[in-house]
């Protein structure tokens, strides 16, 4: 029964992703039917849609655009108290929290150090956060398309035009899907209103403030764009964000939809769909393994707390299975939305979630970001094993040489640097230690989870941890920036370097980058180069906690 449910879920996911990939390949290739509107739109914005960008120009456009986004969002958050559409009279955000929140949404992390209903006005939600949900996702998608072109397009100098790719991502992919999902969610009972909170008298006579607002629109894009920042503080565990099993399923599907479609889009753009399937397979294998672990541990529960599934921090209406699926998906896909409290999952479930983030969010990952992150591992895997067939390593006919390896290593360094160094400081500085809620290895896991989540631009958290601490709002803001741009820029560099190389025709002497052998190799590369680095810290966190739990101790 469980297996059947999972199978149906994946069948639905893969088939919709395949259709979407076809649509995306048309959109990014330039659909004549949409060209008129698109060109007029771009011309009005002062962009020449025919201008082709080298990787450097492309990267500068990404950075410039994101910088403007950051400044605007920061200003809105600071000034929201004086701005309209604020029926609940919420004041301006303090500087460190506004910095953290602005960075968080611009980098597609959606780490929420704030509580939505208490600290963000409707204007900030709509004009600030929801807009960023679209354009930060669009940025990731545009970068991925630029990177894919570098890997797959014929020899040339340019990766396309960032503004065109961004516009196409938002207008023709994110917007239509969000409208469909938003309407569906509103039908399922998610509020979409500009009226303020409702004050109600509960059964026990106490007065209760029920928050509401323009939620459906934001939740749709929060899932589709792997943003994850909820309208309400407890995210999709809140009955208004995720009221029914149907809404839960729709959100679970839309969470992985675009990241999975990117695998197939890669295959289409490479002109060899097996290449896309190979990357998908590597991601799927790791995802399935992780999901298995979480499912088994959550359904089995903690005998120390009584029989039955582990239901602490989970919604009764979803249960252990749907919560496990969500937890695996949201950490794999760099989404970060939650429908249960990750802090309360079993230790090894927490380990899986952390590993998913620590390897750089490459198991489906963020929209676009997951694919280009995985391409980083592909470059390393091809380089390491490619030598073993007796040729200069090649991927899709292009040689992987010193320049590509240098850039890949640079990008690759950002994960251990941010997580380990950031985490190490957070475990020693007294100002940072104040955030830890629980003693022992579980408290350690909370810190580790936070820094892994921020670096991986995931945004989910081990809930017990005090994220609003000034130390962490600043440190995590910096880590989020590094986790985003220290990967985007080198990868665009790799793409820019590859596209200048001639594409060699494949022969039987060519290293095969499709099929089970390559998938195994890629998975092993991710595990050995990515996950193994974090084994010492994982041993001190979730593994120590698990061994203690087995011995009958809880934290």
Partner 1 sequence: MSRNDKSADMPGLYSAAAGQSVTKLDPRQLWRNPVMFVTAVVAAMTTVLGLRDLMSGTPGAGVALHIAFWLWLCVLFANFAEALAEGRGKARADTLRATKSETKVRVLADPDADPDTASEVVSTTLREGQFVYVAAGDIVPTDGEAVRGMASVNESAVTGESAPVIREAGGDRSSVTGGTTIASDWIVMKVTAEPGKSFLDRMIALVEGAERQKTPNEIALNILLVGLTLIFLFVVVTLPAFASYSGTTIPVVVLGALFVTLIPTTIGGLLSAIGIAGMDRLVKANVIAKSGRAVEAAGDVDTLLLDKTGTITFGNRMADTLVAAPGVDMHRLARAAALASLADETPEGKSIVEKAREMLGAIPPMPTGATFVPFTAQTRLSGLDLADGRQFRKGAIDAVIRLTGQTPPGALAAQVDAIARAGGTPLLVAEDSTILGVVHLKDIVKPGVRERFAELRAMGIRTVMITGDNPLTAAAIAAEAGVDDFLAEATPEMKLDLIRREQAGGRLVAMCGDGSNDAPALAQADVGVAMNSGTSAAKEAANLIDLDSDPTKLIEVVMVGKQLLISRGALTTFSIANDVAKYFAVLPAIFVAAYPGLAVLNIMGLASPTSAILSAVIFNALILIALVPLALRGVAYRPASAAQLLRRNLLVYGLGGLIVPFVGIKAIDLCLVTLNLA
Question: What residues make contact with partner 1 under the rule CB under 8 A?
Answer: 380, 383-392, 397, 400-402, 404-406, 409-410, 412-413, 416-417, 420-421, 423-425, 427-428, 441, 444, 502-505, 507-512, 515, 517, 520-521, 524, 528-529, 532-533, 535-537, 539-540, 543-544, 546-548, 550-551
In angstroms, give the least distance from the CB of 536 to partner 1. Answer: 6
Inter-residue long-range contacts of 289-292, CB under 8 Å, 24+ positions, other chains counted: 290/328, 290/332, 290/352, 290/353, 290/355, 290/356, 290/363, 291/6, 291/324, 291/325, 291/328
In angstroms, give the least distance from the CB of 478 to partner 1. Answer: 16
Q: Which is nearer to partner 1, 19 or 539 (CB)?
A: 539
In angstroms, give the least distance from the CB of 382 to partner 1. Answer: 11
If phi > 0 it is left, if psi is from -120 to 50 it is alpha, else beta; for residue 499 that is alpha
Sort 242 into a burial class: Cβ within 10 Å, 0-12 / 13-18 / 19+.
buried
Q: Which is nearer to partner 1, 70 or 451 (CB)?
A: 451
Q: Which is nearer to partner 1, 201 or 507 (CB)?
A: 507
Q: Which is nearer to partner 1, 60 or 506 (CB)?
A: 506
Q: Which is nearer to partner 1, 217 or 491 (CB)?
A: 491
Q: Which of 136, 57, 146 is nearest to 371 (CA)?
A: 146
In angstroms, give the least distance from the CB of 233 to partner 1. Answer: 28
Instruction: Tokens 């594409």: give the residue.
Output: 503
In angstroms, give the least distance from the CB of 16 to partner 1. Answer: 33
Q: Rounded to whole angstroms, what are the CA distances from 382 to 196, 257, 408, 487?
A: 55, 27, 12, 19
Tell me if 263 sits within 8 A of 365, measured CB to CB.
no
Tell me if 446 sits within 8 A of 352, measured CB to CB.
no
Q: Rounded to whole angstroms, what are the CA distances from 170 to 173, 221, 555?
A: 6, 11, 45
Handedness of CA 229, 234, 236, 241 (dihedral sign): negative
Q: Which is nearer to partner 1, 35 or 532 (CB)?
A: 532
In angstroms, give the least distance from the CB of 94 to partner 1. Answer: 28
In angstroms, give the least distance from the CB of 457 to partner 1. Answer: 19
Q: Which is nearer to partner 1, 25 or 533 (CB)?
A: 533
Secondary structure of 178-223 in the HEC alphabet?
HHHHHHHHHHHCCCECCCCCEEEECCCCCEEEECCCEHHHHHHHHH
In angstroms, give the least distance from the CB of 336 to partner 1. Answer: 24
Q: Which is nearer to partner 1, 64 or 421 (CB)?
A: 421
């Amino acid at each position: 029964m469980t297996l059947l449910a999972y199978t149906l879920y994946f069948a639905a996911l893969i088939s919709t992703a395949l259709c979407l990939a076809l649509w995306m390949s048309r959109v990014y290739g330039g659909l004549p039917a949409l060209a008129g509107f698109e060109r007029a739109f771009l011309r009005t914005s002062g962009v020449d849609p025919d201008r082709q960008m080298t990787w450097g120009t492309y990267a500068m456009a990404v950075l410039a655009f994101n910088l403007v986004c950051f400044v605007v969002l920061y200003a809105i958050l600071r000034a929201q108290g004086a701005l309209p559409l604020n029926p609940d009279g919420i004041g301006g955000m303090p500087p460190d929290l506004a910095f953290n929140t602005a960075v968080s949404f611009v980098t597609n992390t959606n780490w929420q150090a704030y509580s939505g209903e208490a600290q963000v006005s409707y204007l900030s939600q709509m004009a600030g956060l929801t807009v960023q949900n679209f354009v930060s996702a669009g940025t990731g998608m545009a970068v991925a398309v630029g990177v894919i072109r570098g890997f797959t397009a014929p020899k040339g100098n340019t990766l396309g035009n960032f503004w065109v790719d961004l516009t196409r991502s938002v207008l023709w992919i994110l917007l239509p899907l969000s409208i469909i999902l938003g309407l569906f969610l509103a039908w399922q009972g998610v509020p979409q209103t500009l009226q303020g909170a409702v004050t109600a008298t509960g059964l026990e006579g106490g007065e209760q403030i029920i928050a509401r607002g323009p939620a459906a629109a934001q939740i749709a894009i929060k899932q589709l764009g792997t943003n994850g920042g909820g309208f309400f503080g407890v995210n999709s565990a809140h009955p208004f964000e995720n009221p029914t099993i149907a809404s839960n399923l729709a959100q679970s599907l839309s969470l992985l939809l675009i990241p999975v479609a990117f695998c197939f889009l890669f295959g289409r753009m490479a002109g060899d769909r097996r290449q896309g399937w190979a990357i998908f397979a590597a991601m799927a294998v790791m995802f399935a393994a992780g999901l298995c672990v979480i499912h088994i541990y959550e359904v089995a529960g903690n005998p120390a707390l009584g029989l039955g599934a582990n239901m602490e921090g989970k919604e009764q209406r979803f249960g252990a299975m749907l919560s496990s699926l969500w937890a695996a998906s949201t950490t794999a896909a760099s989404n970060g939305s939650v429908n249960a409290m990750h802090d309360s999952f079993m230790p090894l479930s927490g380990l899986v979630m952390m590993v998913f983030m620590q390897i750089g969010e490459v198991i489906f990952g963020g929209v676009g970001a997951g694919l280009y992150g995985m391409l980083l591992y592909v470059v390393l895997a091809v380089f390491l094993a490619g030598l073993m067939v007796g040729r200069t390593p090649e991927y899709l006919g292009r040689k992987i040489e010193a320049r590509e390896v240098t850039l890949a290593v640079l990008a690759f360094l950002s994960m251990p640097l941010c997580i380990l160094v950031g985490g190490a400081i957070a475990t020693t500085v007294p100002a940072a230690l104040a955030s830890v809620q629980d003693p022992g290895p579980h408290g350690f896991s909370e810190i580790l989870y936070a820094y892994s989540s921020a670096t991986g631009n995931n945004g989910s958290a081990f809930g017990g941890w005090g994220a609003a601490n000034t130390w962490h709002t600043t440190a995590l803001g910096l880590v989020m920036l590094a986790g985003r741009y220290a990967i985007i820029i080198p990868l665009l560099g790799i793409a820019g370097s590859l596209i200048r190389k001639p594409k060699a025709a494949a022969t039987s002497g060519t290293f095969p980058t499709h099929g089970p052998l390559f998938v195994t190799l890629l998975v092993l590369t991710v595990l050995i180069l990515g996950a193994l680095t974090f084994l010492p810290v994982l041993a001190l966190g979730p593994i120590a906690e698990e061994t203690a739990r087995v011995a009958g101790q809880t934290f």
